[in-house]
Amino acid sequence: QKEVEQNSGPLSVPEGAIASLNCTYSDRGSQSFFWYRQYSGKSPELIMSIYSNGDKEDGRFTAQLNKASQYVSLLIRDSQPSDSATYLCAVTLNSGNTPLVFGKGTRLSVIA
């Protein structure tokens, strides 16, 4: 059974702080890792993708991957109230051809 685990939260951070979201996965064959943001009533929106060990930065977002520990994280710097949403970690074996397996999501609340 392929599993993706996330802390469901809610995670509350003050505006301007760093939000840290974590995810572990069970299938060692997983090759592609994604973070999606989902606002209430909306479909998931891709924030970051990461495929190799290490850090990947895009603006205020940094994804970190450690395949040995089967661990993925997302850091959001200078958090804004507009970042308040549910963040979904998703993994797959072969990007594009195999389905995503989602974690339960972490609800982030950024307090102004």
Partner 1 sequence: SAVISQKPSRDICQRGTSLTIQCQVDSQVTMMFWYRQQPGQSLTLIATANQGSEATYESGFVIDKFPISRPNLTFSTLTVSNMSPEDSSIYLCSVGAGAYGYTFGSGTRLTVV
Residues that bind partner 1 (CB under 8 A): 34, 41-44, 46, 49, 88, 90, 92, 95-105
In the complex, minimum distance from the CB of residue 66 to partner 1, in angstroms, rounded to a whole number: 20
In the complex, minimum distance from the CB of residue 71 to partner 1, in angstroms, rounded to a whole number: 19
Could you tell me where the beta strands, DSSP code E, fall in 1-112? Answer: 4-6, 11-14, 19-25, 32-38, 45-50, 54-58, 61-66, 71-76, 85-92, 101-102, 106-111
In the complex, minimum distance from the CB of residue 23 to partner 1, in angstroms, rounded to a whole number: 12
Closer CB to partner 1, 10 or 16, in the complex: 10
Question: Residue 57: which residues within 8 A CB-CB, separation 6 or more?
Answer: none
Closer CB to partner 1, 45 or 68, in the complex: 45
Closer CB to partner 1, 73 or 92, in the complex: 92
